[in-house]
Chains A and B, each alone.
Chain A
Amino acid sequence: MTDQAIAITVNGERRKGRTEARTTLADFLRDELALTGTHVGCEHGVCGACTVLLDGEAVRSCLVLAVQADGADITTIEGIGPEPGRLGPVQQAFMECHGLQCGFCTPGFVVSVTSFLAEQPAPTDDEIREMLSGNICRCTGYQGIVAAVHRATELIEEATA
């Protein structure tokens, strides 16, 4: 297989690498850039664990080829918080509301919720559950996650007030 050179911005940093055309963005992030916070749960686009922001949009990085992301601006779970050692509002809310147990699906939920709340800062409970249905969690029964999204809206509002 022929390698191709790609250059992407990840969490604000310019990163270059070579990859086969068939390599997914998820594998590229994990294996080439050592950003292992993006998790691969199903490799067929259902579980949502591998969700990252691509030019601001939440995408499943197992369904995007790395070469398709050439030139794009990517945010992964490692780049969601304001600075190393500090949690962003969505992360803080997940911690306060026990919105995670094993933590494997968590990066995908945090990235998806971050993207969702940027578009919809005051969602209803039904809208939250509908939005969350794109990600699968096997531990929490979703109780803490739904509560965390509500809490995140408060934290974001407090931060911007």
Chain B
Amino acid sequence: MTTTDAGSAGRFVGQSVRRKEDPRLLTGRGTYVDDMSLPGMLHACFVRSNVAHGRIVSIDCDAARAVDGVVAVLTGTELNVGRGSMQPTLMFEDAANVAVQPLTEGTVLFVGDPVALVVAESRAVAEDAAELVEVNIDMLEAVVGFDAALLEGAPLVHPDKGANVGQDMPVIMPGWDEIKADAAHVVSATFNQHRQTNVPMETRGIVASFDPASGELHAYLSTQNPHEARLVLSRVTGVPEHLVRVTARDVGGGFGQKMFLFRDEQTIGAAAVYLGRSIKWIEDRRENLIASNHARADRTTVELALDADGKLLGAFVDEVEDAGAWPLGSMGGAAPAVGAYFTGAYKLPFLSWHARAVWTNTCQRGAYRGPWMMETTAREQMVDYAARAIGMDPWEWRRRNVVKDADLPYTTPMFMTYDDSISPDATLEQAAQVIDYDAFRAEQRRAFESEGRLLGVGLSLYIEPCAMGMMDPLSTETANVRVMPSGKVSVALGTGSHGQGLETTMAQVVAEELGIDIDDVIVVQGDTASSPFGRGTGGSGSAIIGANACRLASAAVRDKAFAIAAQLMEAAANDLEVSDGRITVKGTPARGIDFAEVARVAYLETAKLPEGMEASLEATHTYKAPPVTWANACHACTVEVDRYTGLVKILRYVVSEDCGKMINPAIVDGQIAGGVVQGIGGVLFEHMIYDPDGNPLATTFMDYLLPTAAEIPTIEIHHIETPAPNPGGHKGVGEGGAIGAPACVFNAVADALALLDVTITDQPLGPREVLDALMAAGH
């Protein structure tokens, strides 16, 4: 269900144009990395630690090397020598502060830590030989979980760092004690969000091909970010950047996991150069679950001070995140953001926070759709917790505290300013009305009093910072719009579409600006050889940064086409307009020239061009995002909790969101629904659990439970379209669904359990956890 204001829609922009990607993907003709085969290509399999923490005594590769078809068995002795930095991103070059090597030597730090690499003529032979590599490890005590990491005298994950706290950022503002002393209410609670992982349906993979004669390294990758991957591969292999090419045709999802180039892909690149061969490595599902990246795993204590009417006086936030064993990009990148963005959609006069990230002997933490979404999870769960504590309905509490239109622009206590392009109040009201909040409250009372049934309703309201303009290289994208002599158009972009349909949406923008048919536009992306340097796809940025680069490059092409047309028609360029592929004089549609004819002249009859004009018809524009673009949304859902089985059933799920001007409403809805379902799955099904010794217990899809169509309700999506202050008016939309959903589902379950005076603070909320909470309260 979608409500859209189509009034501002163009011929293509604002329309649910069918995707250009779909015909090939629907007929099995996509090209994912595992579909790529090269002559003489070898296959690789990693040998990984099966203990969480221990000293490597020996690695015996003799039996593996003797297997027919094995080309090499590599350990750190061969592959770690002379390696450059393995920092997986161009950002935070010095922030990681723990050196990573291709293959671990000395001490293994988690189950899945790679210690050797078998390269063979087939994947099967590589796996057979990997079984024969004997790794002898002296086990050490593993550090698993926040308490173990923070315990006085705990074993150290990185002894040279002297502590398991790898990042410690206190932003303690003066005056909190005085605010609390004067407050009518002070409420405090601690929320745990459990460990989850991205689970793209296509695992990670690379085919790395090195030609010793030319010195060129070509990597076919499953990546969100081809240009960054190129420089990262260059750094680790020593192959100069211009001799590295990265290609990613179709990418089977990523959700952040493929934004940075991880250690394993870098290692395969290094091995290809070391052996002078082509090597394919396709991660298997067990590796993806235990050794790619994990996410969430936060513990947040929130203290709120409220006046007698429930209005916020201030907040203190203490955030700890589990960063795992090895850094992926910056150490603890998300924890400070939980503090910095905690304000959300509320008028908050005071905010003080302390963020820490701890090393543990578990899989590394990485980006997952809304990497710092604990700010929303903790805040929105705390809002309901505090409202209940002071006897106020959570919707009413939000109405009293929400930033309203009249409050804009609003500057948060962390000195960030929301301009007047946000609409949290409108989305709150819309979501609550669509879910029929008051009627549901009445039904909830009736069902409980007359039948003992536990119904609950939850809200989750947030503001999301999108397309970070202050974080290079994520801040810019370059579009090259090139018109061919026939008038057809090729657009080169540095993006890494992995399900978002950028070949379609970017073509919509270009066709709209040039006034030509979308069938005459092709978008080429995911290839460093054919596109200018770009930011890749992530951080809810492609609509803002990529589309505006396309729009402004197209506008330059259109201006040049008008100048040529003006010369050919003896008209003034500023009197011209273009639509349906024809450039005409405004108000005199009979006077015109085809866009294709202008293109032909630009290349094939250059003598007719205006004096001094460069031949050809193309333009390149680099768009730099504003520091932050704010998107906002409110989620509302209703649930029934079975008090005897602990099962949570979602009855309705409503999203009211404002992502500004939409390029393709069907794709926008798809992004929202996908994110919401990941959030629902995270709360109700998914749990990447470790035992106390650091053994991962969810190593298949029979243990790591993903939501299926049978558990998921219809997601009812409604739009409020407030244009953002950028040329296209777009905001980000990729991450929001996953940011808002967990707190919404949690709040609905907490609301149902509150009928029995049961209080919950932790996710997940599978049947066992719900029953445990009921039993702990004596039910």
Contact = CB atoms under 8 A, between A and B. Distances in A.
A146 B558 CA distance: 41
Contacts of A123: none
Contacts of B669: 98, 143
B308 interface: no
A53 interface: no
A138 B676 CA distance: 11
A141 to B, nearest CB: 3
B646 interface: no
A102 to B, nearest CB: 3
Contacts of A87: 23, 26-27
A23 B125 CA distance: 12
Interface string B644-680: 0000000000000000000000110110111111100
Interface string B685-705: 000000000000000111000
Contacts of A37: 27-30
In this complex, which of A46, A47, A134 has the most chain B Cβ atoms within 10 angstroms of its Cβ?
Answer: A46
State the main secondary structure of chain B at its contact with A.
loop
Contacts of B19: 95, 98
Contacts of A28: none
Interface stretch (B324-332, B548-556, B706-714): B706-714
Contact of B701 (A44, A80, A128, A142): A44
A104 B253 contact: yes
Interface in B1-43: 16, 18-19, 21-23, 25-32, 34-35
State the main secondary structure of chain A at its contact with B.
loop
B199 A36 contact: no
B250 interface: yes
A132 B30 CA distance: 22
B667 A98 contact: yes
Interface string A41-54: 11110110100000
A46 B700 CA distance: 9
B776 interface: no
Contacts of B81: none
A95 B18 contact: yes
B500 A101 contact: yes
B709 A98 contact: no
A61 interface: no
A38 B34 CA distance: 11
B394 to A, nearest CB: 25
Contacts of A135: 708
Contact of A133 (B250, B284, B708, B715): B708
A22 B124 contact: yes
Nearest to B712: A142
Given A102-B499, A130-B710, A94 B26 contact: yes
Contacts of A144: 666, 670, 673
Interface in A114-161: 128-130, 132-146
B710 A103 contact: no
In this complex, which of A40, A98, A132 has the most chain B Cβ atoms within 10 angstroms of its Cβ?
Answer: A98
Interface string A8-41: 0000000000001011000000100001111111
B248 to A, nearest CB: 12
A78 interface: yes
Interface of B: 16, 18-19, 21-23, 25-32, 34-35, 124, 199-203, 250-253, 255, 284-285, 498-501, 666-667, 669-670, 672-678, 700-702, 706, 708-712, 714-715, 737
